[in-house]
Amino acid sequence: MKLNSNYSNLKKNYLFIDIAHRLREYTSLHPDADIIKMGIGDVTLPLAPAVVEAMKRAADEMGKKETFRGYVDDNGYDFLINAIKNYYSGFGVDLDYWEIFVSDGAKSDLGNILDLFDSDNTVLVTDPVYPVYVDTNVMAGRRIIYADANESNGFLPMPDRSVRADLIYLCTPNNPTGAAYTRAQLREWIDYAKENNALILLDAAYEAFITDPDVPHSAYEIEGARECVIEFCSLSKTAGFTGTRCGYTIVPKTLKADGDLNAMWLRRQTTKFNGVAYVVQRAAEAVFTPEGQKQIRENIAYYQQNAAILMSGLDRCNIKYFGGKNSPYIWLKCPGGMGSWEFFDRLLNEANVVGTPGEGFGKNGAGYFRLTSFSTHEKTTEAMERLYRMLKG
């Protein structure tokens, strides 16, 4: 018996485990501390009423012989797939029914999609980067190269024609920086992918937060994307499904590759995945109803107001930041030239506020820090007041 030696190439701890350990140590010494958590991007508002009612009805159905459901259909139930299809039509995107695959979330699919590709592929990721993109490829032993995201390019690196990659990870709006590609910028990446016979794995988990009309909600709004983009979407932040688990992945039949990626993904899913629970899929369907859309937009607007509070507070502190406009994340430059873990410790110890050190997202995250808008107005306001007092004290 031999183990996968690639695991030894991973960083010892996952970023958010390190944060949890430091927080646990602090609270053990200060059990009465009033901690405001703005690090892990978990939602705080409850599921929309339309979603809850749909789940209740589906649960009742599961308790009756006439309406009981067993194993899920191959790529999801018709009612949810058609609801997603109609949602995309609102962007002017016409998807085929068999191009939509319901899953338990974007994070799972972003890792699982790698089953389709040989280990002898070069992977391009931006830095800073969501750790899952890197770690899943390290586990598989692939070569990884990086595109620098920094202040000079607004944390939106563009293709370098002198560099060749086979698999390209893009996240827009981005986690952790909050930056989002315009149509023109995303078109450049699509052209680059087609020139190199490469595939873009596009994480669109935060598309519901987009407010800029020049930022596309889907890559398929851009000509040529159906030939080189697989798109991953999630209801976690869109509709508060972090604990309910549902997302969907779009694998166009028109992808240019030396095999049928759509058929391969269907084969992979039917072999290794038994689908998302009926009650969860009914809840997800409710997200796309007129009433569901109205209710989740209200929740998103609440988080966007928190982002505005964060930006106003950082302006007051004269701290430079990115994101917030099209994203639930604020990416700030650590004040006074502090390192990101140094700022984390000071913010925890002196202000009892928790954020995410930028170093956990890659070398270009050094000296930066991520805050999330997934909190209450009151706690967000209080966190900014504490930061101001800490810096002025």
What is the tens place of the pLDDT at every residue in 222-232?
Answer: 999 999 999 99
Together in a domain, 314 and 194: no
Together in a domain, 308 and 240: no
Continuous segment of H or E residues that includes residue 148: strand 143-148
Whole-model pTM: value is: 0.96
Has residue 217 got a pLDDT over 90? yes
Together in a domain, 324 and 246: no
**Count of CB atoms situated within 10 Å of the CB of 181:** 23
pLDDT tens per residue, range 6-41: 999 998 767 888 898 999 999 999 999 999 999 877
CA angle 311, 18, 137 (to 5 degrees): 95
Domain with residue 203: its CATH number is 3.40.640.10
Domain with residue 372: its CATH number is 3.90.1150.10
Together in a domain, 268 and 323: no
pLDDT confidence of 42, banded at 50, 70, 90? confident
Together in a domain, 173 and 312: no
Has residue 170 got a pLDDT over 80? yes
Together in a domain, 262 and 300: no
Has residue 257 got a pLDDT over 90? no
Pairing verdict, β 199-203 and 229-234: parallel
Together in a domain, 192 and 272: yes
Do residues 281 and 76 make contact, with C-beta atoms less than 8 angstroms apart? yes
For residue 372, give its domain range. 5-47+292-392
Q: What is the mean pLDDT of the chain?
A: 96
| Beta carbons within 8 Å of 6's beta carbon, 6+ residues apart | 138, 139, 140, 141
User: Torsion over CA of 45, 333, 186 and 85, rounded to 10 degrees?
Assistant: -10
Of 260, 288, 316, which residue is a domain's last? 288
pLDDT confidence of 185, banded at 50, 70, 90? very high
Together in a domain, 209 and 355: no
Counting the structural domains of the chain, the total is: 2
| Beta carbons within 8 Å of 83's beta carbon, 6+ residues apart | 284, 285, 287, 288, 289
Tell me the two tokens of residue 265.
Answer: 């993904």
Amino acid at 19: I
Together in a domain, 250 and 122: yes
pLDDT confidence of 256, banded at 50, 70, 90? confident
Together in a domain, 30 and 59: no
| Beta carbons within 8 Å of 256's beta carbon, 6+ residues apart | 194, 197, 227, 228
Together in a domain, 193 and 327: no
